[in-house]
Amino acid sequence: MIRLTGITKVYRMGDEEVHALAGVDLHIAANEYVALIGPSGSGKSTLMNLIGCLDSPTAGSYVLNGRDTSHMNDTELAHVRNQEIGFVFQSFHLLPRLTVLDNVAQPLVYRGIPRAERQARATRALEQVGLGNRLGHRPNQLSGGQRQRVAVARALVGKPSILLADEPTGNLDSRTSAEIMALFDELHASGQTVVVVTHEPDIAAHCRRTIRIGDGRVVDDHANPPREVHA
Ligand code: ADP
Ligand code: ADP
């Protein structure tokens, strides 16, 4: 599904060069549940932006579902991104004036899907995250955890092959964080490929595989021990 080969990313600022990624080789198969961890500045966000087709590498190749994206222009990359990737961010990024239903339906507008079908699909996505009874609410009438569920529903409504979450629990307390991760656990169990960028070990422990980034390289990559299931 995701195959990165020899990926480097160099940011140029005047005469300065920052080597944010320095030769990353990575394969993530369909239905994996992966945590990307590492200290601040190690290159996690850069790697996420590349995997999410928000940015292109300086060198190396990125093949996503059989398509080599390395030489795509911005328009082609945006097309792949809209088809393949569902994003969840730390800060939710919901539109405050829209209802929960319209926030979730929004990504389908750009695909030319008729309004009735948009609303039906958004309703189903909201039911999937346990918010079928909040369709007409505005984001500010919801708790942080509920807002993040709305963001997850919005990420899922286009049926992306990859759910990509950048510090999805960074603005949530520990109980609410655990609820959001339980939702990701369920999505993974139902077949969704999930990649979570985090610096919190408790969050990474929900995933089945942990990839540690350090100084722009993969410094560790291991399967996580099975989690204890509490009855
Ligand atoms: P992390 O997400 O692990 O904190 P980043 O991917 O954000 O790491 O950053 C990796 C390195 O690249 C850091 O040294 C950071 O300062 C640098 N960097 C990130 N984005 C930019 C940018 N847009 N311009 C210049 N340097 C950047
Ligand atoms: P944080 O997770 O620290 O709150 P953000 O969620 O604001 O940060 O953004 C994380 C990264 O994703 C940034 O590089 C930002 O430019 C990008 N980004 C944020 N929102 C969107 C969006 N709706 N579509 C595409 N990229 C986004």
**Residues whose CB is less than 8 angstroms from the CB of residue 119 and which lie 6 or more positions away in sequence, other chains included:** 101, 105
What string of pLDDT tens digits covers the 231 residues of the chain?
A: 999 999 999 999 899 999 999 999 999 999 999 999 999 999 999 999 999 999 999 999 999 999 999 889 999 999 999 999 999 999 999 999 999 999 999 999 988 899 999 999 999 999 999 999 999 999 999 999 999 999 999 999 999 999 999 999 999 999 999 999 999 999 999 999 999 999 899 999 999 999 999 999 999 999 998 877 655
| 188 closest CA partner among 28, 62, 5, 81 | 28
CATH for the 31-56+75-223 domain, from 3.40.50.300, 3.40.50.880, 3.50.50.60, 3.40.30.10 = 3.40.50.300
Atom nearest to 45 CA in ligand 1: 2
- What is the C-alpha to C-alpha distance for residues 101 and 134, in angstroms, rounded to an integer? 8
pLDDT at residue 61 in the model: 97
| 89 C-beta neighbours (distance < 10 Å), count | 16
Measured in Å, residue 181 CA sits from the centre of ligand 2 at: 20
Ligand 1 site: residues with CB under 6 angstroms?
Answer: 11, 13, 18, 20, 38, 40-46
Query: What is the Å distance from ligand 2's center to 225 Cα?
Result: 31
Per-residue confidence (pLDDT) for residue 227, from 0 to 100: 79
Ligand 1 mean position to 48 CA, how many Å?
A: 11
Nearest ligand to the C-alpha atom of residue 154: 2
Handedness of CA 196, 201, 206, 209 (dihedral sign): positive
Report residue 157 as tokens: 């409504």
**CA 64 to ligand 2 center in whole angstroms:** 21
pTM of the model: 0.88
| pLDDT given for residue 230 in this prediction | 59
116 alpha carbon to ligand 1 midpoint, in Å? Answer: 42
* 78 pocket-lining for ligand 2 (C-beta < 6 Å): no
Task: Output the residue whose Cα is nearest ligand 1's atom 18.
Answer: 20
Letter string b/e over residues 132-142, b meaning 16 or more CB atoms within 10 A of that residue's CB: eebbeebbeeb
Q: Output the CA angle 169-136-171, nearest 5 degrees.
A: 15
141 lines ligand 2 (CB under 6 A): no
**Nearest atom within ligand 2 for CA of residue 89:** 6
**10 C-alpha to ligand 1 centroid (Å):** 10
ipTM: 0.69
- Our answer on whether the CB atom of 176 is closer than 6 Å to any ligand 2 atom is no
Stretch (H or E) spanning 29? none
